[in-house]
Structure 1
Amino acid sequence: MKANIGSADRVIRIVLGLLLLSLIFLVEGPGRWWGLLGIVLIATALIRFCPAYAVLGTDTCHNQPPVPGQKH
């Protein structure tokens, strides 16, 4: 799986993921479970691959060196 998430995209995903996760602790009722979507954003940021980007052909990882251990 080829990395398709760039550095700026990773930072944005981590920040938004943490904000969404905070909903679990700050919101009452069933709306709090939307915070679990933060796990998806954080996970995709950490592995530097987004399946939705792959389907759409999007790549924010321009001109960056490959991540060790990932296929090109």
Structure 2
Amino acid sequence: MALFRTANVGTEDRVVRIVLAAIAAIAAYAYLAAPWSYVAYAVALILLLTAVVRFCPAYALFGASTCRRPTAH
């Protein structure tokens, strides 16, 4: 479970995920028909959840991270 304690979503990435989640939710509500609206809502929920908890399982799977690393002085 130590894997879930490590944040791998940086600040800029969080902002992008929140904006994309809002766009997907608006598109699902206003423009998409039933099967595709459910997909868009699911995508929006996943993007919002990963932005809030600062952890992306796909990033962890591939060893990626958008968090800034502390610089050595």
Q: TM-score, normalised by structure 2?
A: 0.78
RMSD: 1.3
Distance 1:33 1:23 in 2: 11
1:16 positional shift:
0.4
Residue equivalent to 1:24: 28
Give 1 or 2: higher helix fraction: 2
The answer on whether the counterparts of 1:13 and 1:45 sit within 8 Å (CA) in structure 2 is yes
Task: Tell me the matched-pair count.
Answer: 64
Identity %: 38
Q: What 5-or-longer segments of structure 2 have no aligned partner?
A: none
Superimposed CA distance per residue, residues 25-46 of structure 1 (whole angstroms, 9 cap, x where no aligned partner): 1122322112221000000000
Q: What 5-or-longer segments of structure 1 have no aligned partner?
A: 65-72
1:46 aligns with 2:57: no
Q: TM-score, normalised by structure 1?
A: 0.79
Find runs of 4+ consecutive structure 1 residues off by over 3 angstroms.
none
Residue equivalent to 2:38: 33
